């Protein structure tokens, strides 16, 4: 509903400021010297706003998606962008022509019901993609509120809940896998498998590694001797899944592979860019080669992410704590590493024995 505010100025003149605010639209205001003009404008503008014809406010979901893809998508981790683009393409096909102020929670739910047979987690990802777009345009004042914020994430029914994947790659299997990948025409595949198993890096983190952030011959201070010594090769990655940078360590064979790769002429700033390529953005993972040589090794059930899980298990078996695992693995909270709690407890007695030897117990 319009409000008219009388304003007196220092020179004795009077003006009338009209404010109109309707739900789902930004506030509109205008100033007049005559109150009659202010009333007429307020009545006309309110009608126009209700019809959605004023000030170019007939923005659609498609326009909102375009705005998000241009301004917000680049801020997302590289590994998350592909799925986000796919989900938003799906929403564009169904709601793209609809005006933003017309979108209701029921509309989104109706669309999601067409995804018959999809798991609850998948439906939640579709909903999150649309909600991210709507939250962005709320900040731009295209909308007052995000209608999807009133929705709760659906929980998986017990019948749909799967057992947490626990595929640990044994030392014999990893050697077989590396031997198979070494035969690939894509020389990157063997290096990727070796580095993933040695560092616990995610697929997207490996593909996003840059030479300028690599320290392949670091010197570290040894507190025991007071001298510096050769450290483990490391690479800082800034485009991680959770949005925070972290350091990946590449001991043993993995570090030596990176050193040898560094000696070869490279045209791209990315470590795992194809030979001779001038990649200006993170290269794609050689998925087809990975699937082929994984199958040749007789390990069709192994996923690339299982190498990260195996690294975490090895780290705990070597005496690392859950806190150290969180830092080195790039997990943000203890909830994310709770699956490893039981394994960590197996080595809990080590700390107790140390205290006992020191006479503290």
In this chain, the answer to whether the domains covering 61-150 and 171-316 adopt an identical fold is no
Q: How far apart are CA 11 and CA 293, in angstroms?
A: 84
Q: What is the CATH code for 61-150?
A: 1.10.150
Q: Among 67, 122, 121, which residue's Cα sits nearest to residue 92?
A: 67
Residues 6+ apart with CB under 8 A from 251: 198, 232, 233
> For the chain, first and last CA: distance in Å?
75
Q: Which CATH number fits domain 171-316: 1.10.443.10, 3.30.300.130, 2.40.10.10, 3.90.105.10?
A: 1.10.443.10
* Helix (H/G/I), strand (E/B), else coil: 12: coil
Q: What is the pLDDT of residue 221?
A: 83
Q: How far apart are CA 194 and CA 153, in angstroms?
A: 38
| Model confidence pTM above 0.85 | no
Q: What is the pLDDT of residue 316?
A: 85
Pairing state between β 246-249 and 227-230: unpaired
Contact 258, 214 (CB under 8 A): yes
Eight-class DSSP state of 245: -
Helix (H) / strand (E) element for 6: namely strand 3-8
- pLDDT tens for the chain, 361 residues long, are 688 888 888 888 888 888 887 665 667 788 888 989 888 988 888 777 666 544 445 689 999 999 999 988 888 877 788 899 999 999 999 999 998 888 999 999 999 999 988 888 889 999 999 999 999 988 877 887 898 887 565 555 544 444 567 788 999 999 999 999 999 999 999 999 999 999 999 998 999 999 999 999 998 888 778 888 889 999 999 877 767 888 999 999 999 999 999 988 888 899 999 887 787 788 889 999 999 999 999 999 999 999 999 999 888 888 888 888 888 888 887 777 777 776 666 655 555 555 556 554 4
Q: Among 340, 167, 141, 174, which residue's Cα sits nearest to residue 253?
A: 174
The ranges assigned to domains in the chain are 3-56, 61-150, 171-316
Q: What is the pLDDT of residue 160?
A: 46
Residues 6+ apart with CB under 8 A from 223: none
């Amino acid at each position: 509903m319009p409000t008219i505010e009388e304003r007196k100025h220092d020179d004795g003149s009077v003006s009338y400021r009209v404010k109109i605010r309707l739900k789902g639209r930004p506030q509109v205001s205008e100033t007049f010297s005559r109150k009659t003009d202010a009333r007429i404008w307020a009545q006309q503008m309110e009608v126009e706003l209700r019809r959605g014809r004023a000030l170019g406010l007939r923005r659609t979901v498609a326009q909102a998606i375009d705005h998000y893809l241009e301004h917000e998508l680049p801020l997302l981790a590289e590994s998350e962008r592909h799925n986000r683009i796919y989900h938003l393409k799906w929403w564009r096909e169904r709601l793209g022509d609809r005006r933003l102020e017309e979108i209701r929670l029921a509309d989104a739910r109706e669309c999601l019901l067409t995804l018959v047979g999809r798991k609850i987690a998948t439906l939640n990802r579709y909903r999150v993609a649309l909600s991210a777009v709507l939250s962005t345009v709320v900040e731009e004042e295209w909308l007052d509120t995000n209608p999807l914020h009133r929705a709760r994430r659906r929980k998986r029914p017990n019948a749909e809940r799967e057992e947490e994947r626990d595929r640990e790659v044994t030392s014999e299997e990893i050697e077989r896998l590396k031997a198979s990948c070494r035969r690939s025409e894509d020389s990157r595949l063997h290096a990727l498998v070796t580095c993933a198993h040695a560092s616990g890096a995610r697929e997207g983190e490996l593909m996003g590694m840059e030479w300028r952030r690599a320290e392949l011959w670091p010197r570290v201070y040894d507190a025991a001797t007071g001298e510096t010594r050769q450290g483990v090769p490391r690479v800082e990655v800034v485009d991680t899944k959770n949005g925070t940078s972290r350091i990946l360590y590449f001991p043993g064979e993995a570090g030596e592979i990176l050193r040898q790769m560094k000696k070869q002429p490279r045209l791209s700033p990315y470590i795992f860019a194809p030979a001779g390529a001038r990649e200006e953005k993170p290269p794609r993972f050689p998925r087809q080669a990975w699937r082929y040589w994984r199958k040749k090794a007789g390990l069709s059930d192994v996923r690339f992410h299982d190498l990260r899980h195996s690294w975490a298990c090895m780290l705990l078996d070597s005496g690392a704590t859950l806190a150290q695992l969180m830092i080195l693995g790039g997990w943000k909270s203890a909830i994310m590493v709770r699956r490893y709690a039981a394994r960590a407890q197996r080595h809990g007695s080590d700390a107790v024995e140390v205290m006992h030897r020191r006479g503290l117990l």
